[in-house]
Structure 1
Amino acid sequence: MSGIAVGEYGSGLDAVSEKPEKILPGDARYGELSHSDNHRFEVTPDAFILPLNSYGVVSALREAIDDRSEVACRSGGHCGQDFVGSPRRNTILDLHRLNFVAAGAGNSGVRIGAGATVGEVQKELFRRWGAALPLGACSAVGMGGLVAGGGYGPLSRQLGLVADHLNAVEVAVVDSSRHVQLVTARASDDGELGDLFWAHTGGGGGNFGFATAYEFRSPKHLTGTDIELPRACTALNVQKVIYPWTMLNEDSFVSLVQQFFAWHEQHQVGGTPEASVFATFFLHHNSSPFLQLMVQSDADIDVDGSALAAFVDGLTAGTAINGISRGGRMTWLTGTRYMSQADCGDVMGARSASKSAYHRKALTDTQISVVYRHLTNQHPGTASYLMLNSYGGEINRRGSSETASTQRDSIVKSSWFTAWSDPADDYLQVDWLRDLYESVFASTGGVPIFGDTTAGCYINYPDIDMRDPARNRSGQPWHRLYYGENYARLQRTKRTWDPLNIFHHKMSIEP
């Protein structure tokens, strides 16, 4: 590791001596900390450490390394797989107290702690500077993992991925001599530091070190505020539309989904009113009474909401389906919060499983019929669905190796999800999701390969089935599905910055 810049913008430098709090079994907070978003997995370390700043992370990591302890780090706790608790760790660093949002040096850009949540960041950026980043719709997701995996959200067709706005990352790393240090890697760096920065633009969390803070400064063509971030629009056009299952049959369901894909095929480019339209379409199992569409557009660009209306109207064209709509024009922060997917309701305290796919082209009618049959079969889930998300636009401006987020020519990203409460139902629920997913992608070995119509999977929706040759029968290894041709550079970065493989989990980069 050469040319290292240590601690250039560590958080809380005035509180270096303040020791992190340690939470032990028996503390009332231990039980809460032992469950992340997915209650299918339990995290039971000897202790949870709650650092207050970057140097608290370094000291806790140094202690674990000196003790030869297994250690892992968590920001928001929204990883769908058991990457933090398995293999069992002696120490878990929970970063939720590293939740600062501050102006960068010279009031240029912003510094954000890895433990800040999407909801916290959205509010602070807007209220202090009238600014925005293309953050996700799930308000409780932590920035630490979101950014490292690339990150996307309702503004991404306008503004690109979250990682496209990254200017620097602060990381606690461990060298071959077991020495822990705080390193700053910047977008302008070359060589080993350049690799470390690049790896945090889509290489996934828990691979190279513990990210403690991020600095954002947007590309010039997207900058609209004094702090060199995009300007938040004055208002959003927002709609939530439900389509009752009683109105649907297989033909109309196929038409509805096909027209969702068709619109995105026709409106792939950025810089248009349509590029400000972003939709999330929940194709719920019919144990729920309806499908739900959530769609928004930038009211400064789509002034009269006509681009949004044309999209919504086009979905049901030629069918007898009548969607039931609510929403309207809302100011920026109100509209963002209205459209967010907060942590509440049936998914809280639930066990879950998920999968993902990038789509370069529409699903075929046959594939959509497979989805229909799975969504209308007998299935006792508290929340089971296929979620289709808008993609393309500004995201696809960049090349596939410019960042570690390689999927840069897709039109839709999908999430396949089921949640339940009873541990006795684990096999039933996971098997239902596997059968849905593998049946849709039956012609390509049960997975969305890098090919003409699909482009692999999203590392922030990890799925260890992709490592199992019984489930992934495509001949493409798991790492190609997630990283494409970028995996070799990620491996090189891993060997340089984590030579002892201290930072590892079930789908970590293999040295």
Structure 2
Amino acid sequence: MTQIFEPVTIGRKDPRYIELSHSDNHRFAVEPNEFVIPSTADEVVHALRKAVTDGLGVACRSGGHCGQNFVGAPQRDLVLDMHNLNTVSLSDGGVRVGAGATVDQVQKALFRRWNAALPLGACSAVGMGGLVAGGGYGPLSRQLGLAVDHLRAVEVAVVDDSRNVRLVTATADDTGELGDLFWAHTGGGGGNFGVVTAYEFRSPQHLATEEIGLPRAASRLHVKKVVYPWAMFDESSFVTVIRRFFEWHERHSAPGTPESSLFATFFVKHKSAQVLELMVQQDADVDPDGRILEQFVAGLTEGLPVMGIARGGVMSWLTGTRYMSQADCGDVMGARTASKSAYHRTTPTDDQLSVLYRHLNSDYPGFASYVMLNSYGGEINRRASSETASPQRDSIAKSSWFCGWLESELDGLHLGWLRGLYEEFFAGTGGVPVTGGATDGCYINYPDLDLTDPAHNRSDQPWQHLYYKDNYARLQTAKRTWDPLNTFHHSMSIAP
């Protein structure tokens, strides 16, 4: 007797619908005719098969943290919400993770069950389905690489040209069309090829120190948060501190060094927030005395009339990781947001940093507006650009340009400020961080529709190249093979 799988379905009249219709970015609403919440891969296949048979428009999401309206627009008939596919278990020589598991769930499970770790993001509520599909990076990436550098298999529900739906597993050892499908999920972005139901991770041999095939979690972390009052900065000291942040990473971008165990995030906030905030962590097993961290922090302000208020210390790995994480709870809920990104291969010029100072020091209500500078390089840069679909493999830092607000009538004000800052900073390359030279394009997990608009992207590089560089052609090959009907699409999806 054939078993029928019926996932939970929530329609517009269900009291839970209004909560599900919110994504992380409240500029956008996700309002399909119904949400389907599967708990197994078979339920995903069943729901997807019914949708394509009935000619319904379908999309999926895991954590709901996409910065653009890829799930809600165009309006779908059905949205698969993958939250219940969240198990973390042992697989053949590695670990299997459901696509709906959050970063926090995976970090806790890996550590508490097996004393293991993966280089996942700092935002604890982000879902694995989207994080990994876009490449995935976080505070351990300088030491361990991108999340996709540890990916060994992906399980995905696909739709062929006859509208048949099947579950396919593609592995790192596959060649041909299956090999293309696996490779496409190592940074090709979400919502492009099918519905990912699970990932399997097994680390490269030089990083797989534990029996389950993953890296061992550090026993302790040095963690430090430093708050710098905005009032202590003039333009000269601001430019010097930010330049030193980049210069340190230029000197220490090689893989396998003690310095690659350090990761820093610098929230360079608008003056409305009154402070700039630096967050740093380092593996205490590599540097028990924390000398590298202390020298890094001290070097930023050495000889300047700038003092920070520091807190932190030595913590166990899971506590330290959570201390450094960014949760989506509290007063960030309900925010309308916009973001942009850039990979940096060298230190920006002082003129560019002066542009940053002027915009952050402007008369603008930017309480939740900032540029976030993140450490990059290290183990990430060990691989070649074409080895995974994530092509940026020689950068030293990554930046996220962000603003948040609550009132819809202020959309124009905040979007205008963010565009003005970003486009003036990169004015020398057409308003965007072109590939080659000092920058290397953008990060697909921070999608930015402005890159598709010639009014904002005045460079000779289309948005596809800014995200994927020369890897885009192979992604199109995978798209034609595995999603020939373009069932899975959005405003920045891979074109077949």
TM-score, with structure 2 as normaliser: 0.99
- Distance, in Å, in 2 between the alignment partners of 1:501 and 1:90 is 16
Q: How does 1:57-72 map to 2 (within 5 A)?
A: 57-72=44-59
Q: Evaluate the alpha carbon distance shift between residue 184 and residue 16 of structure 1 in structure 2; reply closer, same or farther with a 3 A threshold.
A: farther
| Residue 458 (str. 1) matches residue 465 (str. 2) | no
Amino acid at match of 1:69: L
Residue 100 (1) aligns with residue 107 (2): no
Task: Please state whether the residue corresponding to 2:89 is helix, strand or coil.
Answer: strand
Range with bigger deviation, 241-250 or 23-32: 23-32
Name the structure 2 match of 1:311: 296
Looking at structure 1, the residues matched to 55 and 351 of structure 2 have their Cα atoms a distance apart, in angstroms, of: 53
Give the alignment partner of residue 23 of structure 2, picking from 33, 36, 45: 36
TM-score in terms of structure 1 length: 0.96
- What is aligned with 2:336? 351
Matches within 5 A, 1:431-510: 431-510=416-495
Question: Which residue of structure 2 lines up, in the alignment, with residue 7 of structure 1?
Answer: none
Look up the SS of the partner of 1:221 in the other structure.
Answer: coil
SS of the aligned residue for 2:272 comes to: coil
Pairwise CA distance, 1:246 = 1.0
Question: Does 1:24 find its partner at 2:11?
Answer: yes
Provide the residue aligned with 1:162 in structure 2. Answer: 147
- Tell me if the contact between 2:223 and 2:281 (Cα under 8 Å) persists in the aligned partners: yes
Tell me if the contact between 1:370 and 1:440 (Cα under 8 Å) persists in the aligned partners. Answer: yes
CA deviation digits over 1:359-407, x for unaligned, max 9? 0001110000100111011222341000000000000000000000000
What is the deviation of 1:344? 2.2
94 and 382 in structure 1: CA distance in 2 versus 1, 3 angstrom threshold: farther
Please point out which of 255, 270, 281 is paired with 1:296: 281
Deviation track 1:409-467 (CA, whole Å, cap 9, x = no partner) reads 00000000000000000111111100000000001000000121000000000001100
Partners of 2:26 and 2:394 lie apart in 1 by 34
Listed one character per residue, the Cα deviations across residues 318-345 of structure 1 (whole Å, up to 9, x for unaligned) are 2111111000000000000100001123
Q: Give how far 1:195 is off.
A: 0.3
Pick the aligned partner of 2:114 from 124, 129, 132: 129
Provide the alpha-carbon RMSD of the alignment.
Answer: 0.9
The aligned amino acid for 2:265 is T
Per the alignment, residue 178 of structure 2 pairs with 193
Q: CA deviation at 1:16?
A: 6.6
The match for 2:63 among 57, 70, 76 is 76
Amino acid at match of 1:86: A
Match of 2:358 among 373, 378, 403: 373
- Which letter does structure 1 place at the counterpart of 2:393? R
Matched with 1:141 is: 126
- The residue type equivalent to 1:319 in the other structure is L
1:114 aligns with 2:64: no
CA distance in 2, matches of 1:415, 1:489: 27
Tell me which of 249, 253, 263 is aligned to 2:248: 263
- Give the paired residue count: 495
Shift of 1:224: 1.1
Partners of 2:391 and 2:281 in 1: CA distance: 26
Identity across aligned pairs (percent)?
67
Q: Residue in 1 aligned with 2:73?
A: 86
The residue that corresponds to 1:8 in the other structure is: none
Q: Secondary structure at the match of 2:457?
A: coil
Aligned partner letter, 2:49? R
Residues 236 and 331 in structure 1, CA contact (< 8 A), matched pair in contact too: yes
What is residue 258 of structure 2 aligned with on the other side? 273
3-state secondary structure, aligned to 1:447: coil
Counterpart residue type for residue 89 of structure 1? R
Q: Aligned partners of 1:183 and 1:462: how far apart in 2?
A: 27
- State the alpha-carbon separation in 2 of the partners of residues 157 and 399 from structure 1: 15
The one-letter amino acid paired with 1:497 is W
Establish whether residue 219 from structure 1 lines up as the match of residue 227 from structure 2. no
CA distance in 2, matches of 1:380, 1:487: 39
SS in 2 for 1:22: strand
C-alpha separation between the residues in 2 aligned to 1:429 and 1:440?
A: 17
Q: Could you tell me how far apart the structure 1 residues matched to 2:317 and 2:187 are?
A: 28
Confirm or deny: 8 A CA contact 1:356 1:458 kept in the other structure. yes
Distance 1:41 1:378 in 2: 27
Q: Measure how far apart 1:17 and its partner are.
A: 4.1
Aligned to 1:395: 380
Where 2:446 maps in the other structure, the secondary structure is coil
CA-to-aligned-CA distance 1:175-231 (integer Å, 9 cap, x gap): 010100000000000000000000000000000001110000000000111101000
Shift of 1:18: 4.1
